Structure 1
């Protein structure tokens, strides 16, 4: 009987050791008083990356003693070590605290002294009336850049404009700008500015977390991002894409970038 119990204990111990030594897919949920969507979940040990959905749910591959980091702009970063209980349960709930950025006290507007005549003289003028004040609709979308406005003013020639010949109203600017190459130059300028804006957005939102998992000397990081930007698929691959998709693109480019460095150094 004792031999049977001893044997059973060894079997259970073997199963436990096998389970905790292998990688498992862990399901988790992040809880917070603010938005829990698009929080970065980083397995620094295994170099795995995931993000939460609108409900704060995520899944990521882990094994015993892996280090998980939870990071977002709205939250205080949190780090946990994957223990035996997490591996066996394959589930975890994480509570994050809101990141409150306190600003130094600033003085806005004039100081009121209590002296009516003095305060009236020092008071700011009324704010200018805008379209909201008079109850009319106005444009509230993205404000066009200078290059976008110039491109709009330059116009673009379209075959249907030739119909204007019949009525004597053929627009000349689009034709002249097309012939001179100005329209093409403005289009390229708009494209480059959009690329720069996209690159800056990626650097701001992903740089810290990406390099916490995939190592690269800090002095090379700016050059690496320009290397990514030069890829002909950069805009299509990264525009309106999830952080996971962009990270996959950056991972591929990082391998190519390091290979280029190695070739250059050799």
Structure 2
């Protein structure tokens, strides 16, 4: 008798644990460019949606499915009996983006300097000299902008320094002439 009860118990547990292949689609207000991640949190199985948002994942009663994508709010669904009977779960994901009503930038000089534009009150000669002296990360072969080194080796840096001196002298001469005119 005990053997029969044990066999019935093991059989019911085994059949109760069978996961069915659940199909569905994930849709949004806009077209999804990247796949959405679908995870059965209970079993640990993970799949990604296809081009049109379709997916297939194994699930059973009370499993929790998580639907996530960087552009959308994560959604978790607990598998119910009606979902299993239909063998289908279609999901709509809401956008995770926040639209700003207004953006106000108070200090443009600080912003320009932080973006690498330097001081905005520089003369053309000063800007050229400043740019020719840069040793910074960039997009070169080595991942470093070698402009500063190359400009010094080629003599361009010295030429730009002379140009700055001439520009400064011209400004001073013009100022001198206007002072005594």
Question: Structure 1 length normalisation: TM-score?
Answer: 0.34
More strand by share: 2
Question: Structure 2 length normalisation: TM-score?
Answer: 0.48
